Amino acid sequence: MAPETPAQGPTPRYFTWNEVAQRSGRDKERWLVIDRKVYNISEFTRQHPGGSRVISHYAGQDATKELTEEFRELQATVERMGLMKANPVFFLLYLLHILLLDVIAWLTLWLFGTSFLPFLLCAVLLSTVQAQAGWLQHDFGHLSVFSTSTWNHLLHHFVIGHLKGAPASWWNHLHFQHHAKPNCFRKDPDINMHPFFFALGKILSVELGKQKKKYMPYNHQHRYFFLIGPPALLPLYFQWYIFYFVIQRKKWVDLAWMISFYVRIFLTYVPLLGLKGFLGLFFMVRFLESNWFVWVTQMNHIPMHIDYDRNVDWVSTQLQATCNVHKSAFNDWFSGHLNFQIEHHLFPTMPRHNYHKVAPLVQSLCAKHGVEYQSKPLFSAFADIVHSLRESGQLWLDAYLHQ
């Protein structure tokens, strides 16, 4: 590569792409190319605001945003339209509706007793609180609410820590990697269930079959997904792993916020239900929330292109890994506006209430460049998860049996 020669200073050194690619491992120097200039990011990885793994996923590659001129113009248009500015009333009302549902859940037991129907209604209300708080913490985590990062971080801690009992640092660690390299195996932690639980994507599934690897009966994965996917992720994994994460990494501030959540729900529900009743309510809520969370978060990605990182330009990487679900008042609320997954990935700091405004512009850009822009009904999106798992499972089986 031939970087621009500076007007003054020493003669620049030149490197081949092979030399750059060799500097990408965890135990080696890490180099990065931006605008044809080579940077040694070995030390900077520890200081990167998104975490060391986010920038390290680009080590040995060209991280230049190879955006088309049209996308650059779209970004400028978005700024001029004011679509990167949040409406504080929207997020205030959103927070208040979560807090109101939280209060109503407790009042349901206090007023109507702890028989089956009030207990079930309380569990449904609390599950709604947890799911909706999950979408709201996502907004703060993306710094899309306040103009200053300090307030975003503070409210992020409050919502994910005090309202949900999870650590902000854990969410940042996983989610920033997901946005850097969505659906890229070994770089996007959201698809880490491949290959030990599921065979994901056409390319990876065929590769797994050719290698004669069988960690699970993948040809039945579209069936056992209903057992170990939506029902189990939160109560059997996340619920316990988050404590290991904060203690192992010494994230004591996060732990304090988490403890405040558990103290609050313990003191408010144990007097009404007793310890056994409280534990039953808690894990029922986690079970319901887990189903809600998994179906919504996977409908935009699992049916899309999944592969190793091929160092494709940033825009194409986002588009091939995401799809949308049609806009409606219910879909927007139910998914926390993540039904606009394409727009969210292209403009990750955009306030969610503006996604529908930029969507027609993104559709026009995709149409002009022959890029598929997928949008589908909600239940079709759910069904596509199962169809995708069935297809990739069959591809694995065919490759596995082929001599």
Q: What is the pTM of this model?
A: 0.84
Q: How deeply is 5 buried, as exposed, middle or buried, from its count of CB atoms within 10 A (0-12, 13-18, 19+)?
A: exposed
CA distances from 220 to 107, 190, 232, 383, 391 (A): 44, 21, 17, 16, 10
Q: CB-based contacts of 371: which residues, under 8 Å, 6+ apart? A: 316, 319, 365
Domain architecture of the chain: domains with CATH: 17-64 (3.10.120.10), 87-177+217-299 (no CATH)
Cβ atoms of 68 and 61 closer than 8 Å: no
Burial class (CB in 10 A: 0-12, 13-18, 19+), 143: middle
Tens digits of pLDDT across the chain (403 residues): 555 444 555 667 777 767 776 676 655 677 666 555 677 776 655 555 555 555 555 555 554 464 567 888 899 999 999 999 999 999 999 999 999 999 999 999 999 999 999 999 999 999 999 999 999 999 999 999 999 999 999 999 999 999 999 999 999 999 999 999 999 999 999 999 999 999 999 999 999 999 999 999 999 999 999 999 999 999 999 999 999 999 999 999 999 999 999 999 999 999 999 999 999 999 999 999 999 999 999 999 999 999 999 988 889 899 999 999 999 999 999 999 999 999 999 999 999 999 999 999 999 999 988 889 999 999 999 999 999 999 999 999 999 998 5
